[in-house]
Structure 1
Amino acid sequence: MGKNKLFWRLRYVDYMPGYLKSVRSTLQFCTILPLGDSSDYDSYARRFYLFPLVGYVTGGIAALLTMLVSDPALSAAVALAAVMILNGFHHFDGLLDLGDGMMAHGSREKRLKALSDQNVGAGGIASGMLVILLAYAGLMSIAMVPYAILIAEVLSRFSPVFLLTFGEPIKEGMHSYTHDFGKKWFPYAAFALCVPALFLAPGGVGFMAAGIASIAVPLFLLVVFKKIFGGVNGDMDGASVEISRMAVIACLALVL
């Protein structure tokens, strides 16, 4: 018995620093939080199922900031501004690129070219505006903005984990590199991390609506991306966060 206890204690000591390093690396990759020297990217890629933990941090900070504002309209604006700034507009940039690719006319090659173009076109601008407006309108209609932004920010992180695991890469890049580290159980682990946030949703209807939205969005996006682009890239992973956050907020607004 003594040897077994020593074995598991050594295993704990061996693995915990790795997990903590992965959490730090994930936060550094996804946010602008000052967390010291940059960790190696592989620490994030090996355990990208930890993505929802970022939502607890960014969503938690945003929730606290909204509590300082009494006006509902301003509170909703502060919530969205906070999460987007904390994310360094990292995912929003992917949404703009995706919008350009989706709106491009012609062959798949033309869509991929528009997707990777550094300039933002009308499709990207319109996509960004629509997602922000829908998320803002949803928050405006929900009395419990702090809870809504925290729930949505956490659940939105399930989408990139799902896409990184099951989305076939369309080219070499950040998505393809991270995809190689993926395991089929990663989405299950990511959703398990999301479950505590689901319990913050008021009532069983809110719980079901938020949970269904968080799962339905990446499933739908995976089908769309495969059909239109032939696979997934990093821009789509980032865009899925913005789209999922908006979808969860919208569903909460509809049922509440």
Structure 2
Amino acid sequence: MENNEHERFSPIKSLLGLLSFSTIIPVKQYTSIEYMTRLVWCWPFIHLVVGILAAVFGIVCADVLHLNPFFTAALIYAFLMLITGYNHLDGVMDMADGVMVHGDPQRKISVMKDSSVGAGGVATLFLVAILTIAGLYNVLDYECIAAIIICEMVSKSSILTTALLSTPSDQGIGCYFIYSTNILNYILSTVIVAVIAYLVGDVVGVIGLAGAIVAGALIAFIAKRNFVIANGDVLGMSNEVGRLMALLFMSVALFFL
């Protein structure tokens, strides 16, 4: 996705670039990172499709293969990780390592960027993964297949929330996503996501979006306190925690509503 000064901006190429960037779906369409991130506010809508694929996969596991809810939940999580190319898992581990180490922001950033992974990173990834599987199991127990679609879609709303509230680093791909997120396109994206979430999952879906927004704001706060800036690792953490928090909020809502 090298920048090409002769390239003209194309919304279709930008959307396909986002799809290629965040999934393993074979899309042979490339554009510059600047043009790709220009439509970053549309990212949740791309992952609406990914969520639908995961929901169909879950239905096959549960209704065709007759697997129990826990095994189905674990396979759905594995499916989501595979189709997204394990794209954000390194961000979870790297940010966790940076937060755990003692020192000033520069020291924490250097640890976060280090290619080696510490115990804090591994433990955090395990916790996020097992809690997400538990969340998927819980919504499946309520037979709310729509929650699978919603949690994947709003995980990108979590990223947008973090991007909006963060100060970008001066290098790396993550800074392009942060620079391209502003209050106007964030509000537009969130309103459309809220409408889709309501149509797909009623009030429970909107509550799931609220959970993702809370997660995004929380990750932005933690990043600002520890690193001052945010990068791709912070956005990756936001994605995974956003999915988890959406499932948590929807699980609670399913009990009370």
> Deviation per CA, 1:30-79, whole angstroms, max 9, x where unpaired?
11110114333223111111110221121111111111112211211121
Aligned residue type for 1:31: T
Aligned pair 1:243/2:241, yes or no? yes
For normalisation by structure 2, the TM-score amounts to: 0.86
Q: 1:193, 1:154 → 2: CA distance?
A: 11
Answer whether contact 2:168 2:179 (CA < 8 A) is retained: no
Aligned to 2:170: 171
- For the 8 Å contact 2:219–2:237, the answer to whether it is kept is no
Question: Shift in Å at residue 114 of structure 1?
Answer: 1.2
Instruction: State the shift of 1:145 in Å.
Output: 5.3
Match status 1:62 vs 2:54: yes
Greater CA drift, 70-79 or 206-215:
206-215
Distance in 2 (CA, whole Å) between partners of 1:76 and 1:66 is 8
Structure 1 residues not aligned, in runs of 5+: 1-16
What is the CA–CA distance in structure 2 between the aligned matches of 1:207 and 1:81, rounded to whole Å? 22
Alignment deviations for residues 106-147 of structure 1 (CA, whole Å, 9 cap, x no partner): 222221111001111111111111111111111112233531
Q: Report percent identity of matched pairs.
A: 26
- 1:252 matched residue in structure 2: 250
Structure 1-normalised TM-score? 0.86
- 2:163–2:178: 8 Å Cα contact kept in structure 1? yes
Superposition deviation, residue 208 in structure 1: 4.6
Give the Cα separation in 2 of the matches to 1:181 and 1:209.
26
The one-letter amino acid of 1:197's match is A
Residue 200 of structure 1 aligns with which residue?
A: 200
1:19 aligned partner, one-letter code: P
2:223 maps to amino acid: F
Q: What is the aligned-residue RMSD (CA, Å)? A: 1.8
Counterpart in the other structure of 2:101: 104
Alignment of structure 1 residues 90-239 onto 2, 5 Å: 90-142=87-139, 143-144=142-143, 146-195=145-194, 196-202=196-202, 204=203, 206-239=204-237
Partner of 2:14: 22
Partners of 2:249 and 2:180 in 1: CA distance: 32
Residue-pair matches, total: 238
User: Which residue of 1 is the match for residue 43 of structure 2?
Assistant: 51
Residue identity opposite 1:229 in structure 2: F
Is the contact made by 2:158 and 2:242 (CA closer than 8 Å) also made in structure 1?
yes
1:86 aligns with 2:78: no
